[in-house]
Structure 1
Amino acid sequence: MAAPILIAAGATATTLLGGWVAQHVGDRRHLVLGLTAGLMLGIVGFDLLPEALDTNGTETFGVPVPLLLFIAGFLVLHITERCVAIHRAHEKEYAPHSHPFSPPHHHGHASSDRPVHGLGIVAAGALVGHSFLDGFAIGAATQAGGTTGTVVAIAVISHDFADGFNTFTITQLYGNDRRKGLALVAADAVAPLAGASVTLAFTISENILSIFLGFFAGFLLYLATSDILPEAHSPHPTRATLLFTIAGVAFMWLVIGLAS
């Protein structure tokens, strides 16, 4: 029964390592953002969506339910950002070459930052929720027996490095201070342990799990393509940033492939 906790502790360690690396990148921030976007795209395409579809093949009007939730997750965040943009438009945040969701140092209106800060917290909080389910997946796979537990453990421990990295980077991208970023990294690190502990008492419905995974995949896709990649290329439109994005996708493909 202690096996899920021990494996989750490994995920905790890699999450903290990812958060530490994200803090010490200095002027290479654009490369980190490019890598982050690639990792997130890889997680969506190679991990979250396939797992959601395997878990729940139910269709509604010809479309698998997880894919409907995938689109819903994308649209919810898009609508949220548009609502924030409408609010900020009255404060003339749409100057040429500006981005309404960039960190506050890109603009001179500190009083209008709060909605952006909050969005960063929500995004990082979603990653914490994902890490909780990672821990739950470890416990459930361990209960299933055979090689399933080993495969899931490799996948979770590997990509939780990306979770810790992304958690800190996203909070900084949306203008939150370092203290909040560290607090959320700590929460992200503890989450797998909490998720694994839950499985010692009871299990979760596969249908509910698939709904969350599909919704979260849409959430991450929007962040990667609409916020993080534009932010990565705006100050440093270099080929290196693009290469780091491709490397992030390739790394997640390698991780999922080795774990399969």
Structure 2
Amino acid sequence: MAVFVALGAFLMTLAGGFTAQRVTDRRHLVLGLAGGLMLGVVGLDLLPEALEAAGTEILGVPAALVLFVAGFLFAHLVERLLAHRHAAHGAGEDARPALSPGLRDGRTPEVGLTAAAAMVGHSAMDGVAIGAAFQVGGGMGTAVAAAVVAHDFADGFNTYTITSAYGNARRRAQAMLFADAAAPVAGAASTAFVTIPEHLLGAYLGFFGGALLYLAAAEILPEAHHAHPARSTLLCTVAGVGFIWLVVGLAG
């Protein structure tokens, strides 16, 4: 039953990704919406779940928040290391990072792939959550599945947008989208054999949330407003946050 329900998440993720592909002529609006969706997912969905699931404290601070900060710093460190490595291989002493072979318009494709891979991992955990909820009972499983399916449109949208925004080819972005769509099905199927302890799941959500917030605040949103500082871009960001708020509220 859990795997069958997870197929809904598969289709919803693909729908979000294909929507992102169709509006590439309004890239600043796409990035603005993606940033809002990411901010909403982190603040209104991932972090509350992480705080509830992790439970324990580290030196008086909730473990989920410690890992949230660690995830933010990890994403920053990875991006800086990749950018520095590509800049070091630039042509000539005065070569700027934007001219390095590993960059696309100043962006490191590996950062996009790393972020998309994290999204795939998160989607797999969504599938695990569906399977675990159905082990508790049909009502619980239905509620969790509805929440997952509802926000997987945003996951698909963000996975494709993040991958392509960092200069990856369309085919590579589509491959990451399909991986993200298949991940909930695989995660739900895995619960027939493995059960993940709740505190480990909470720790993962906190860490992933920090990394996702870094990408939204330090990369996606600044890029959205860089070339087109329009009011419509800001409205798309607010709409993205509002959409996630609505989804979380209805699912609750």
> TM-score, normalising length from structure 2?
0.93
Secondary structure in 2 matching 1:147: helix
Amino acid at match of 1:159: H
Tell me how far apart the structure 2 counterparts of residues 125 and 24 of structure 1 sit (CA, whole Å).
22
Distance in 2 (alpha carbons) for counterparts of 1:244 and 1:32: 8
Query: How far off its partner does 1:149 sit?
Result: 1.6
Give yes or no for the alignment of 1:14 onto 2:12: yes
Matches within 5 A, 1:100-115: 107=98, 109-113=99-103
Name the aligned partner's letter for residue 50 of structure 2: A
* Deviation for aligned residue 1:148: 2.0
The answer to whether the aligner puts 1:236 opposite 2:234 as a matched pair is no
SS of residue matched to 2:101: helix
Please give the alpha-carbon distance, in whole angstroms, between the structure 2 residues aligned to 1:234 and 1:190.
34
Is residue 108–residue 166 contact of structure 2 (8 Å, CA) maintained in 1? yes
How many Å apart are 1:89 and its aligned residue?
Answer: 4.9
Identity %: 57
AA paired with 2:199?
N
SS at match of 1:203: coil
Give the match for residue 66 of structure 1: 64
State the Cα distance separating 1:87 from its structure 2 match.
3.6
Amino acid at match of 2:48: P
Q: Assess, with a 3 A threshold, how the Cα gap between structure 1 residues 187 and 88 changes in structure 2: closer, same or farther.
A: closer
Match of 1:43 among 34, 41, 44: 41
Distance (Å, rounded) in 1 between the aligned partners of 2:230 and 2:73: 30
Structure 1 partner of 2:209: 217
Runs of 4+ in 1 over 4 A off after TM superposition: 88-94
Q: Which residue of 1 aligns with 2:241?
A: 249
Decide which moves more: 21-30 or 82-91: 82-91
Q: Which amino acid aligns with 1:170?
A: I
The equivalent of 1:188 in structure 2 is 180
Give the counterpart of 2:136 among 144, 164, 182: 144
Q: What is the CA-CA distance between 1:83 and the residue it aligns to?
A: 2.2
Distance in structure 2 (CA, Å) of the matches to 1:20 and 1:139: 27
1:118 Cα deviation (Å)?
A: 1.2
Partner of 1:133: 125
How far off its partner does 1:125 sit? Answer: 0.5
Give, in angstroms, the shift of residue 82 of structure 1: 2.1
Equivalent residue letter for 2:60? G
> Over aligned residue pairs, what C-alpha RMSD do you find?
1.6
SS in 1 for 2:108: helix
Give the CA deviation at 1:119. Answer: 1.2
Instruction: Please name the residue that 1:122 is paired with.
Output: 114
Q: Distance in 2 between matches of 1:12 and 1:73?
A: 26
The answer (yes or no) to whether the contact 2:86–2:101 under 8 Å persists in 1 is no
Equivalent position of 2:219 in the other structure:
227
Segments of 5+ residues of structure 1 without an aligned counterpart are 95-99, 101-106
Residue 208 of structure 1 deviates from its aligned partner by 1.1
Q: What is the number of residues matched between the two proteins?
A: 246
Match of 2:50 among 49, 52, 61: 52
Deviation at 1:110, TM superposition (A): 4.8
